[in-house]
Structure 1
Amino acid sequence: MSAELAPARTSIAQACRVLAARGLADGILGHISLRVDGRRLLVRCRGPEERGLAFTTDADIRLVDLDGEEGAPGELDGGYTPPNELPLHTEVLRSRPDVAAVVHAHPPDVVAADLAGIAIRPIVGAFDIPGTRLAAGGVPVHPRGVLIRDRRLAAEMVASMADRPVVVLRAHGLTSAAESVEQAVLQAISVDRLARLSLRVVSAGGTLVDIPDADMAELPDLGAGFNTATAWRHELARLG
């Protein structure tokens, strides 16, 4: 496998372990991809000794093309296969030139909140500024709880997602898209955090209320150095 892609393989493998550590993909389901060029992407594949995202290694990250064929000789050797839902990734990458990384995860609290009729809303302020801004822009819901295994089903999801960074998949999970793997994972973590808080508030008998516009206007942009770089160092440190 190409040595020049080794750092990217490491980043994706780490991100898979972060998803698992955060409980967003704590079983054998879920995957992350990263655009390499106009026709190829690195994606978390399943090997002959699959153990789940918590145990992802660099060897699990393979180069494929948009049709699921190996992106270079030997990339799918050893019994590795792309995920069944590879079209979920490739259709986002085909249709969204602003996106380089796609995360698909199965956060239980996100699924539960949606099934309970609870939307992802900006109910907090400084507690999670990036998450609040994301929620304020809207988190759409794709209404089909299907395995997104072909381009037709993936195109339906992309239509539901529109130009937003995250879409909730009813009775399924979520898809998060961004310019980097780190940002895509952090977005998913924020949506999961908001879903979990919403469930707690409702279960305690409270009512969900969006933060006032005046408070939203006071929330500063702390910049990518803090919101992404520092936050990501924290996530990697949590892995031990």
Structure 2
Amino acid sequence: MSRPLLAAACRILAARGLADGFLGHVSQRAGDELLLVRCRGPMERGLAFTEPADIRLVTFDGGPGAPGELDGYVPPNELPLHAEVLRRRPEVAAVVHAHPAAVVAADLAGIAIRPVVGAYDIPGAALARGGVPVYPRGVLVRDRELAGEMTAAMGDRPVVLLRGHGLTSAAPSVEQAVLQAVSVDRIAALSLAVRSAGGTLADLPDADLDQLPDLGAGFTVAVAWRHELARIGDEPVHTMPLGSLP
């Protein structure tokens, strides 16, 4: 577990325009029925200014995970979104919820996240090829019933779009959950640009997608994460050695 890591993840989402206001949050599993999550404090300024002190240990039901953890802080309204994914998917250790404008616009325009790019974003192409489902309700996911609906729509996929709302990304690490969200946003923005230019979107042929190499987590996660940290002027922050990142 790492509060600095989650704080950096929030700042990266803001820098990438996926959560550039004060809405959106990142969480990390911290034990049975416990998670670290970005909370709002008395001096809330938005995700771009998240500090480790804004990351608090809470129970899945929103109570303090240790004495004093919520003094002056409030968990996000959509904490059930994080908790339900962690409850139902034991392989997941981190959840990102963000509001990328391009993702929302593409979905509302009827544009699915599809493998329309290849070597431009190899991890993104693989993610899109497997499918990115949509939760069709534009609601605030603030209780277990709604979170259960969203998680059911997500299935076993790493990312689900939330219509008129944003996306949820789940992964074995905070780094991967953030990078997945960045890839989906990138594909959404490119798809909108193609359609706006009068073009027609088409999936890459299977033969081309089959040729895309697995570059390994040391490149697609570790190096990509160092790049994201450098973009916001941060030093590397990790919860595990780079070679062991999933």
State the TM bucket, normalised to the shorter chain. over 0.9
Identical amino acids, percent of aligned pairs: 76
**Matches for 1:42-121 after TM superposition, within 5 Å:** 42-77=36-71, 79-121=72-114
Cα distance in 2 for residues equivalent to 1:234 and 1:227: 11
Counterpart of 2:183 (choices 168, 190, 196) is 190
Cα distance in 2 for residues equivalent to 1:81 and 1:112: 30
Which SS does the other structure have where 1:231 is aligned?
A: helix
Deviation at 1:39, TM superposition (A): 1.6
Q: Deviations over 1:108-128 (max 9, x none)?
A: 000000000000000011000
Aligned to 1:144: 137
Cα distance in 1 for residues equivalent to 2:184 and 2:207: 22
Cα distance in 2 for residues equivalent to 1:39 and 1:143: 28
Alignment of 1:212 with 2:205, yes or no, is yes
Root-mean-square deviation (Å): 0.5
Which SS does the other structure have where 1:36 is aligned?
A: strand
Cα distance in 1 for residues equivalent to 2:217 and 2:209: 19
Which SS does the other structure have where 2:229 is aligned?
A: helix
**Matches for 1:4-23 after TM superposition, within 5 Å:** 8-23=2-17
Deviation at 1:38, TM superposition (A): 1.4
**Matches for 1:211-230 after TM superposition, within 5 Å:** 211-230=204-223
Which SS does the other structure have where 2:31 is aligned?
A: coil
Aligned to 2:18: 24
- Whichever residue aligns with residue 155 of structure 2, its letter is A
Aligned to 2:119: 126
Cα distance in 2 for residues equivalent to 1:188 and 1:136: 15
Which SS does the other structure have where 2:170 is aligned?
A: strand
- Whichever residue aligns with residue 54 of structure 2, its letter is D
Deviation at 1:225, TM superposition (A): 0.1
Deviation at 1:164, TM superposition (A): 0.3
Q: Deviations over 1:57-82 (max 9, x none)?
A: 000000001111000001011x1010
Q: Deviations over 1:124-144 (max 9, x none)?
A: 110000000000000000000
Matched residue count? 233
Cα distance in 1 for residues equivalent to 2:99 and 2:61: 24
**Matches for 1:168-187 after TM superposition, within 5 Å:** 168-187=161-180
Q: TM-score, normalised by structure 2?
A: 0.94
